A and B are shown apart, each in its own frame.
Chain A
Amino acid sequence: MIETGYVQVLTAFFLVVIAFVLSRIKSIPVEKEIAYGSIRTFIQLIAVGYALEFIFKSESLYLVLLSVFIMLLVAAYTAGQRARHFKGGFAISFISLSIGSLITLGLMLVLKIISPEARYIIPLTGMIISNSMNAISITFDRIGSDLKNNRLEVETALSLGKSWREASQRFYRDAVRAGMISILNFMKTAGIVALPGAMTGMILAGVSPLKAVLIQVIVAYMLLSSLTISSIVAGEIVIRKFFNDAEQFTG
């Protein structure tokens, strides 16, 4: 087992130097980003490490809930930035991420898949929210661009007496599917193309591979559930924003 400490981290910084030097030689304009990014990663993760240590030791439910709320806020803000084609991206992101993650997490607690401890809830919620955030960002982008680029198709359907839901059904389905594609691809190739991050982390931390695999399977199912719920909720809310009560396309 690797003994990980600050010495190992500093040694690993050599890898950053390789990336920095290579990009400099090849005149790829990312030196600043590499420098800032690597330092920022270090500071952010160390800070998070101390925060988690504190929360885990305190065993305070309020601190756990606060952490989840902050994660939801930041993720909703980030996904909301992708809402180029409509207003209210932040609110829609917050609602869909909350519903997706809370239902999934709630079920995992109720079904006793995990125990209600900070050391389970916080990292798993982080995984759920970050993956769902990426999924709804894609759903947002896809719905907006597809509807706008296919105005004639949508309005033809409306002009033939179809409801807004019928006229936009194809775009809604495509957008939700696009949001889910990452988890669907992951499940197809898990363990074959790459070892998933959570599983790798556990193996590196000394957990037996068989146990790590079981946990990873739970993580995959958990992500599937939260991504599906979040993408569907986001798609449902967003698509309605492109139509008014008179079944007119306003996009």
Chain B
Amino acid sequence: MSSCQDSVILEARNVSRQIVANGNSKKTVDSFSYTFHKGDVYNIIGPSGAGKTSFLRLLNRLDDPSEGELLYQNKPLVSYQPTEIRKNLSLIFQEPYLFPGTVGSNMEYCKSDCTEDEIEFHLEQVGLNSQFAGKDVSELSVGEKQRVAIARSLLLKPEILLLDEPTAALDPTSSQTIELLILSLMKEFCLTAIMVTHNPEQAKRMGGKTLLMVSGRLIENGDTSELLTNPKTEQGQKYIRRELK
């Protein structure tokens, strides 16, 4: 296990993402600036359409900013090979997609030279026993699929986990299990987690820092407990009051 320093790992400098949909131009991410530190958990909250997922996609380089710059370990994100950087900033989708076949074959798809021991180790890390390796993915529950998706990402030894509402399709108990799992994996592997959620309650449970996005803009950020109890902006107050009701 590497030491978990509080150094800057990721920086967004005035990042915008402009798209054209049905002939109309729109900024899904607008002038976003923020500095992320290694080993911390960051919750990105905000109403639907605030640009939370769009921002995560920029970090995984599934899209690129139209303006501004993203820096990973002080180097522009675009200077890295996309196929390599995506392993370091691993994205877990809201609806996990597992490739047809077994859990084991999904793990091997990620890392063709991975051993059985590695597969078992990573499955155990996400609370699944070794017998899951031989299970067909069609037999898994949504929660189990999400765990496999996380285990699959861990095989790539990422530095940052990008989680796009990973518990959106889960019941409250399963959601909290996944949350605890993420927090324990962060400690175990010295990971940084950036998690999108539309649920401030979830952000409260995750702790760390919280970023509030509205209409593509980062309108507020700070310690999670402070931001959720004492938002500074009027938009923030309205949103938090409505969501925590």
A160 lies within 8 A of chain B by Cβ: yes
A residues within 8 A CB of B64?
Answer: 246, 248
Contact B156 A160 (CB under 8 A): yes
A59 lies within 8 A of chain B by Cβ: no
B residues within 8 A CB of A155?
Answer: 62, 93
List 21 A-B residue pairs with CB atoms under 8 Å apart, sorted by A's residue number: A152-B93, A152-B95, A153-B99, A156-B93, A157-B99, A158-B62, A159-B60, A159-B86, A159-B90, A159-B93, A160-B86, A160-B90, A160-B110, A161-B83, A161-B84, A161-B156, A162-B83, A246-B78, A247-B82, A248-B61, A249-B62
B residues within 8 A CB of A161?
Answer: 83-84, 86-87, 110, 156
Q: How far is the CB of B26 from chain A (nearest CB, A)?
A: 17
Partner of B97, one of A156, A162, A163: A156
Contact B152 A248 (CB under 8 A): no
B12 lies within 8 A of chain A by Cβ: no
**Mask: chain B, 62-96; 1 = CB below 8 Å from A; 0 = not:** 11100000000000001000111011001101011
A158 CA / B93 CA spacing, docked (Å): 12
B34 lies within 8 A of chain A by Cβ: no
A128 CA / B78 CA spacing, docked (Å): 46
How many chain B residues sit at the interface, stated as a range, is 20 to 34
**Mask: chain A, 142-162; 1 = CB below 8 Å from B; 0 = not:** 000000000011011111111
B residues within 8 A CB of A163?
Answer: 83
Partner of A160, one of B61, B63, B95, B109: B109
B210 lies within 8 A of chain A by Cβ: no
A160 CA / B96 CA spacing, docked (Å): 12
A residues within 8 A CB of B78?
Answer: 246
B153 lies within 8 A of chain A by Cβ: yes
- Ranked nearest first, the 4 interchain pairs of A and B with the lowest CB-CB distance are A161-B87, A156-B97, A247-B82, A159-B91
A163 CA / B87 CA spacing, docked (Å): 12
Partner of A153, one of B62, B86, B97: B97
Contact B82 A246 (CB under 8 A): yes
B residues within 8 A CB of A152?
Answer: 93, 95, 97
B88 and chain A: residue at smallest CB distance: A161
Contact A248 B156 (CB under 8 A): no
A161 CA / B86 CA spacing, docked (Å): 5
- Given A156-B93, A160-B109, A161-B156: A246 and B87 within 8 A (CB)? no
A154 and chain B: residue at smallest CB distance: B97
A residues within 8 A CB of B87?
Answer: 160-161
Q: How far is the CB of B186 from chain A (nearest CB, A)?
A: 19
A residues within 8 A CB of B95?
Answer: 152
Contact B90 A247 (CB under 8 A): no
A152 CA / B99 CA spacing, docked (Å): 11
Contact B97 A248 (CB under 8 A): no
Contacting residues of chain A (226-245) with chain B, CB-CB under 8 angstroms: none
Q: How far is the CB of A249 from chain B (nearest CB, A)?
A: 7
Contacting residues of chain B (156-195) with chain A, CB-CB under 8 angstroms: 156
**Mask: chain B, 87-123; 1 = CB below 8 Å from A; 0 = not:** 1001101011101000000000110000000000000
Q: How far is the CB of B50 from chain A (nearest CB, A)?
A: 20
A residues within 8 A CB of B97?
Answer: 152-153, 156
Contact B93 A248 (CB under 8 A): no
Q: How far is the CB of B145 from chain A (nearest CB, A)?
A: 12
Q: How far is the CB of B75 from chain A (nearest CB, A)?
A: 16
A246 CA / B62 CA spacing, docked (Å): 8
Q: How far is the CB of B163 from chain A (nearest CB, A)?
A: 12
A247 CA / B87 CA spacing, docked (Å): 13
Contact B86 A248 (CB under 8 A): no
A152 CA / B98 CA spacing, docked (Å): 10
B64 and chain A: residue at smallest CB distance: A246
Contacting residues of chain A (98-157) with chain B, CB-CB under 8 angstroms: 152-153, 155-157
Contact B82 A248 (CB under 8 A): yes
Q: How far is the CB of A175 from chain B (nearest CB, A)?
A: 18
A161 CA / B152 CA spacing, docked (Å): 12
A248 CA / B87 CA spacing, docked (Å): 15
Other than A158-B62, A160-B110, A160-B153, give 8 A-B pairs with Cβ distance below 8 A: A153-B97, A155-B93, A159-B86, A160-B109, A160-B152, A161-B156, A247-B61, A248-B63
B87 and chain A: residue at smallest CB distance: A161
**Mask: chain B, 112-150; 1 = CB below 8 Å from A; 0 = not:** 000000000000000000000000000000000000000
A160 and chain B: residue at smallest CB distance: B110
B109 and chain A: residue at smallest CB distance: A160
A163 and chain B: residue at smallest CB distance: B83
**Mask: chain B, 11-28; 1 = CB below 8 Å from A; 0 = not:** 000000000000000000
A residues within 8 A CB of B156?
Answer: 160-161
